Amino acid sequence: MNGSTGSPDRAPASEGGAGEQLELVRAELKKARARAKPRTNPKATTGRLPVARVVVNKGVLVIDQYFDYSVPVDLDETAQPGVRVRVRFGARVVKGRREGGTLIDGFVVERLAASDYAGPLAPLSQVLSPEPVLSPELLRLCRAVADRYAGTLADVLQLAVPPKHGRAEAAPLPDPLPAPAPPPAGSWSRYPQGPAFLSALAAGGAPRAVWTALPGGSWAAELALAVASALASGRGALVVLPDGRSVAQLDAALLELLGSGHHVALTAEHGAEERYRRWLAVSRGSVRAVVGTRAAMFAPVRELGLLAVWDDGDDRHSDERAPYPHARDVLLLRAAEVGAAVLIGGLTTTVEAAQLLHTGWARPLAADREQVRRSAPLVRTVSDRDQSDDAAARAARLPSHAWRVAREALERGPVLVQVPRRGYVPRLACTRCREGARCAHCAGPLALPGADGVLTCAWCGRTEADWHCRECGGTGLRAQVVGTRRTAEELGRAFPLVPVRTSGRAEVLASVPDAPALVVSTPGAEPVAEGGYAAALLLDGWALLGRADLRAGEDALRRWTNAAALVRPREQGGTVVVVAEETLRPVQALVRWDPAGFAALELGERAELRFPPVSRMASVTGSAASVEDLLGLLRLPEGGDVLGPVPVRGRPAGGGAPGGPGAEPLERVLLRVDPGRGAALAAALKAAQVAQLVRRSAEPVRVRVDPPDIG
């Protein structure tokens, strides 16, 4: 081996070896500097539409705008609107031309004949892919979402357009299949307006409905019929579901109804490359229907005819990345833009859906009461009074009535036991009537944050020295203790010959066989039983009802109903036992199986108290100095309220646990405006954040419009 190319430690010590190695090192350094040096000799600019308007992939509010670049001749053909490009951002003007800057990715928005910027333009550095992934329709949607949630276009594009994969782009895609024939109404005939809804879809109409689905597990087949009806009109369809399990159910139903090639499923389980391949099939028009989790809300379906969301009350529909859009609201924005049909479905009805019905924007799609009674299981309650007289309930936390129901049901099949997961924090409630304790000033939830026993509002921070219940006048308060410990072990001892299976965070079961077994599950992780469960026990109802959250009752009813819908109808002996106070509104709604009525009552109560969705809210969270600084810069719309600040648990800079050692003290304020002023609130928040960033007067804050958890 030549000494000049080997390892320095092993090279022979010759007279010229060191000099040769030094020359090699100098040559390599010179090459490295040449590679790192930015291009200072711009290529000739094309004469046809020489300006490319670009949105750069940098989610900073102060640069939430388009930037103009010149188009070199060699990039003229590929630098078309919608493609990914790489540009130098932050370049300086040196001797009449742009130099330096940082390479950053972006998208070409449009090509122009001239720029309104008077100075020299930096050239596009590279076209990363000739694939036009950002259509004008998708760009308008992303801009609307950014404006609604006081965010940046770049952040929304991060959610809407998946990362590029070269192999997926190079793979050929088949031509789209012809439109299928309109399907029969099938089980939609159980709903008086069901067949007419499908017929309107198949005829190219745009009906808008809030669908309260019947229990029994037929919802996936019914959604598949709605998608097939939209496809029959020659249009596309998009369905967003809360999790991969429900996507798999609808995917299987569509394959059974239409066969392969008409739709794709988009979930994180498919992997980045396969997901991008499927996304391209939609973008190029090879596939006209998409079913997926919340990221699919931006899927570029062509000629949309139907936009549907299933179980829109599930918190997984709200994205945890800035600007935190909700799938339901994004689909409503898309429907308004393209004039597509809308189907908001679930076993329960959210208050937001009830508002759409109240305003007449959508029509109800529900079965009559007789059909509901035939489809739903029998629901019984066990109250606190019943448990206080029950020695078995005090000893084993399983009331005698629930034990008897489980014992009888186990002779016919599996029994579901729903136990709230750890971490639910209950709110305070009246000891006498169980009504939640609310602030007299803003109606926010009252809490005991310290050891001094002083009631404090979680919204506005005011203390309540002389609280009394507005419903019954009582002065006593209670906080229900969450009881989820050793549930499986206790049931195993109570039923020693019956297998006990668990489904929760560690392992979520998809299904269980139709055989006697106790299935202990946390809410949302209930497996489907073949043939349905013989019974269900919904334990620790106050752990759900007592949460310090505006949506506690609505969410408890949704979780109970989703579990109870897996139980056989009452005609087949299906029984549900819910351990909660029988007089409470959510419990009564479950007993009557009337989620739409519950949502309508909740909407009326929130209208009285100016709660969302009747009003619009935003939360601002940060250090005390940052929040105060932003409020000083904020120009609230007329009639806006500031509730707070109140302390919230912080997270240390090193990424430790909230509230632990080194955690930064944080504060939160809630901003409330009247209906119709949500856009003005978002614009005001965005302007205040930009001013704060420009002035660098304080650390940035976290802004969330329409927060799902406001207390």
Q: State the Cα–Cα distance between residues 219 and 200, nearest whole angstrom.
A: 19
In the numeric block, which tokens belong to residue 391?
């020695």
Half-sphere exposure of 204 (CA within 13 A, CB side): 4
Radius of gyration of the chain (CA): 30
Whether omega for the bond prior to residue 323 falls within 30 degrees of 0, making it cis, is yes
DSSP reduced 3-state for 121: coil
Amino acid at 454: V
* C-beta of residue 339 within 8 angstroms of C-beta of residue 161: no
* HSE-CB of 636 using CA atoms within 13 angstroms: 17
3-class DSSP state for residue 267? coil
Q: Who contacts 220 (Cβ-Cβ below 8 Å, separation ≥6)? A: 246, 249, 250, 252, 253
Place of tokens 């009535």: 401
How many Cβ atoms sit within 10 Å of the Cβ of residue 432? Answer: 14
Task: Count the alpha carbons within 13 Å of 85 in the hemisphere toward its beta carbon.
Answer: 31
* Contact (Cβ atoms closer than 8 angstroms) between residue 538 and residue 577: yes
Spell 379-395 as b/e; 16+ CB within 10 A means b.
bebbbbebbeebebbee
CA–CA gap between residue 120 and residue 607 (Å, rounded): 55
442 is in an annotated binding site: yes
- DSSP codes of every residue in 41-73: SPPPBPSSS-EEEEEES---GGG-S-EEEE-BG
- 457 annotated as a binding-site residue: yes
Phi/psi at 158 (nearest 5 deg)?
A: -60, -35
Q: What are phi and psi of 378, to 5 degrees?
A: -80, 130
Residue with tokens 């969450």: 482
DSSP conformational letter for 162: P
What secondary structure letter does DSSP report for 81? T
Nearest partner of 329 among 569, 144, 581, 479, judged by Cα: 144
Question: Which residue type is seen at 499?
Answer: P
Buried b (16+ CB within 10 A) or exposed e, 661-680: eeeeebbbbbbbbbeebbeb
CA 308, chain centre distance (Å)? 14
Residue 469 annotated as part of some ligand binding site: yes
How far apart are alpha carbons 481 and 427 in whole angstroms? 10
The tokens 């919340």 sit on which residue? 294
- Closest listed residue to residue 701, CA positions, set 61, 35, 30: 61
Instruction: Give the Cα-Cα-Cα angle 224, 226, 232 (nearest 5 degrees).
Output: 100
3-class state of residue 120 by DSSP: coil
SS3 of 185-235: the string is: CHHHHHCCCHHHHHHHHHCCCCCEEEEECCCCCCHHHHHHHHHHHHHHCCC
Burial class (CB in 10 A: 0-12, 13-18, 19+), 631: middle
142 labeled binding residue: no
Collapsed DSSP state (helix, strand, coil) of residue 86: strand
Q: Are 99 and 91 in contact (CB under 8 A)?
A: yes
Q: 279, 299 in Cβ contact below 8 A?
A: yes
Q: Do residues 252 and 221 touch, judged by C-beta distance below 8 A?
A: no
Residues placed in the known binding site: 430, 433, 439, 442, 457, 460, 469, 472
Binding residues for Zn(2+): 430, 433, 439, 442, 457, 460, 469, 472
